[in-house]
Chains A and B, each alone.
Chain A
């Protein structure tokens, strides 16, 4: 019995033969397979127009590593605790990438609806922000400075966030 596979195509046209089980970590792909029975067609190609080759490779590496994880779907649980959790060593090394790549992974994981990877990357970004000054945050994420300091602006910020800074 050959392991069922599906071909995923990156935005640059590179084909990634992928186990169906691995690809199914993506809710988007899972929905496509469920609705269109694509898995029966050995030559079917799923084009992912907005996911680059490098990003798709990273995501599939993560999905392959986590393919045996328990499905921790908690749909509808809106207020589940959003605490920083311990990031596994494998995941930590996997996400030692520059911030541009990290953000690309977030965008792709969001489009492909990969819940576990999204939660992981959100936590990593939160950890990158925690304890940093605004200038450091801009530098880390290459965010252009579009805020022009002004007296009114500064006073407004002070009013907006006076209380935690004084606490």
Chain B
């Protein structure tokens, strides 16, 4: 007689069954046995392809926005980490591609947005792409859930309190608790950000540090001594109709 459990190790069978399940259930399935783990660990399998094509907006799949995440599963993961439409300024909306925020042309307002998922453990990296003009202030960084997302005037909102940390790309300044924490990167005449460049933010919750990379060059640790709190990818913007994309990449590669 055929071992019936073999049915549940047959990839053709698993592929269909897993396609019926949602992501939480797939998470549990990956911990059931080694063969299920290996099957779900294939990030380009038809299960992930199905969920990816089914859940991600078509626009994001057609563009090169997700060029840094090469597999279906990591594209899907990036979507679940994208800007939160429920945790952003009222002057910001998330575009249909799911990954890009648009700041409406509202006068005398600074507006911010947070990612859907915050981090308290592990090491994480995400890509930020400023696709419109920076304006007078453009800050990339992290914040807790308590940091404000909107305020009056054109200011460096991210980094203005003790709940947020940011790098103002316009001035190449680090900002926290309303203070300028120094120039960044630590180079004489460091080049300014060019619209469309991909900046990687690296959050290490084990070392409690925040760092940045630009064009695959590590720029050094920006902040140390981050608190043991859940920290969210965040940006704050002032320029009308500017757009900022964020793509979560997962654990940073070592080396």
Shortest beta-carbon distance, A77 to chain B, in Å?
A: 13
- Alpha-carbon distance between A144 and B37 when the two chains are bound, in angstroms: 14
Is A82's CB under 8 angstroms from B50's CB?
Answer: yes
4 closest A-B pairs by CB: A103-B4, A126-B20, A161-B27, A134-B31
Q: Which residues of B contact A147 (CB under 8 A)?
A: 31-34, 37
- Cβ of B28 under 8 Å from chain A: yes
Docked complex Cα distance between A126 and B8 (Å) = 11
Pair A163/B81 contact, Cβ less than 8 Å: yes
B117 within 8 A of A: yes
Tell me whether A143 and B5 are in contact in the complex, defined as CB-CB below 8 angstroms, given that A130-B25, A133-B28, A160-B30 are known contacts: yes
Known A-B contacts A141-B8, A163-B80; the reply to A126 vs B17 at CB < 8 A is: yes
Q: Are B25 and A166 in contact (CB under 8 A)?
A: no
Per-position contact with A for B30-64: 1 when CB-CB < 8 Å, else 0?
Answer: 11111001001100000000100100000000000
A122-B16, A137-B28, A157-B30 known; A167-B116 Cβ under 8 A: yes
The number of residues on chain A lying at the interface, defined by a beta carbon within 8 Å of a beta carbon of chain B, is 48
- Please name all residues of chain B whose beta carbon is closer than 8 Å to the beta carbon of A126 when the two chains form the complex: 17, 20-21
Which residue of chain B lies nearest to A101 when distances are taken between CB atoms in the complex?
B4
In the bound complex, residues from chain B placing their C-beta under 8 Å from that of A101 are: 4
> Is chain B's binding surface mostly helix, strand, loop or mixed?
helix
Q: Does B135 contact A (CB under 8 A)?
A: no
Closest A residue, CB atoms, query B81? A163
Q: Is B254 an interface residue (CB 8 A)?
A: no
Interface residues of B in 53-88 (CB under 8 A from A): 53, 77, 80-81
Which residues of the other chain, B, contact A161 by a CB distance below 8 angstroms? 23, 26-27, 30
Interface residues, chain A, CB within 8 Å of chain B?
11, 50, 52, 79, 82-84, 99-104, 106-107, 110, 118, 122-123, 125-126, 129-134, 137-138, 141-147, 155, 157-167
Our count of residue pairs bridging A and B at CB distance below 8 angstroms stands at 114
List chain B residues, Cβ under 8 A from A122: 13, 16-17, 20
CB neighbours of B177 from chain A (8 A) = none
Does residue B220 face the partner (Cβ distance < 8 Å to A)?
no
**B190: CB under 8 A from chain A?**
no
Q: Which of A110, A118, A134, A162 contacts B32 (CB 8 A)?
A: A134
Q: Name B201-251 residues within 8 Å CB distance of A.
A: 248, 250-251
Q: How far is the CB of B227 from chain A (nearest CB, A)?
A: 18
A159-B250 in contact given A129-B17, A147-B31, A164-B27 (Cβ < 8 Å): yes
Cβ of B32 and Cβ of A106 under 8 Å apart? Answer: no
Residue among B16, B19, B34 with the highest chain A CB neighbour number at 10 A: B16
Chain A hits for B16, CB < 8 A? 82, 118, 122
Shortest Cβ distance from residue A13 to the other chain B in the assembled complex, whole angstroms: 14
Give Cα A32–Cα B169 distance, bound, in whole angstroms: 71
